[in-house]
Amino acid sequence: MTSLSGKVAIVGAADTEVGILPGVGATQLCVDAACRALSDAGISKDQVDGLVTCNSMAEPYMYHAEAIAEYIQIFPRYCISASAGGGTTFSILHHAASAILTGMCHTVLISMADTLRSGLSREQAMLMQSATGHGQFERPYGPTVPAYYALIAQAHMAQYGTTQEQFAQIAVACRKHAALNPAAQMREPITVEDVINSRLIADPLHLLDCSLVSDGGSAVILTSAERAVDFPHSPVYLLGVGEGHGHEHISQAQSLTTSAAVESGQRAYAMAGLEPKDMDLAQLYDCFTPTVLLELEDLGFCDKGEGGAFVESGAIELGGALPVNTHGGLLSHCHPGNPGSMFALTETVAQLRGVAGERQVDGAAVAMVHAQGGIMSSHTSVILGRETA
Domain boundaries, given as residue ranges, for the chain: 8-119+213-228
Task: Quickly name the fold that domain 8-119+213-228 has.
Answer: Peroxisomal Thiolase; Chain A, domain 1 (3.40.47)
Is it the case that residue 83 has pLDDT exceeding 80?
A: no
Three-state SS letters, 87-117: HHHHHHHHHHHHHHHCCCCCEEEEEEEEECC
Helix (H) or strand (E) holding 26: helix 26-41
Omega of the bond prior to 204 within 30 degrees of 0, cis? yes
Q: Which amino acid is at 268?
A: A
Q: What is the mean pLDDT of the chain?
A: 94
The three-state secondary structure class of 235 is coil
pLDDT band at 140 (very low <50, low <70, confident <90, very high): confident
Q: What is the mean pLDDT of residues 72-98?
A: 88
Q: What is the mean pLDDT of residues 106-132?
A: 83
Under DSSP, the state recorded for 229 is T
Q: What is the mean pLDDT of residues 379-386?
A: 97
- The pLDDT tens digits for 321-344 are 999 999 999 999 999 988 999 999
Q: What is the mean pLDDT of residues 50-73?
A: 94
Please check whether residue 319 is in contact with residue 176, taking contact to mean a CB–CB distance below 8 angstroms.
Answer: no
pTM for this prediction: 0.96
DSSP alpha helix (H) spans, 83-220 = 86-101, 122-130, 145-160, 164-178, 192-197
- The pLDDT tens digits for 146-195 are 999 999 999 999 999 999 999 999 999 999 999 999 999 999 999 999 99
pLDDT band at 130 (very low <50, low <70, confident <90, very high): low
Predicted pLDDT of residue 138: 78
Q: What are phi and psi of 251, to 5 degrees?
A: -65, -15
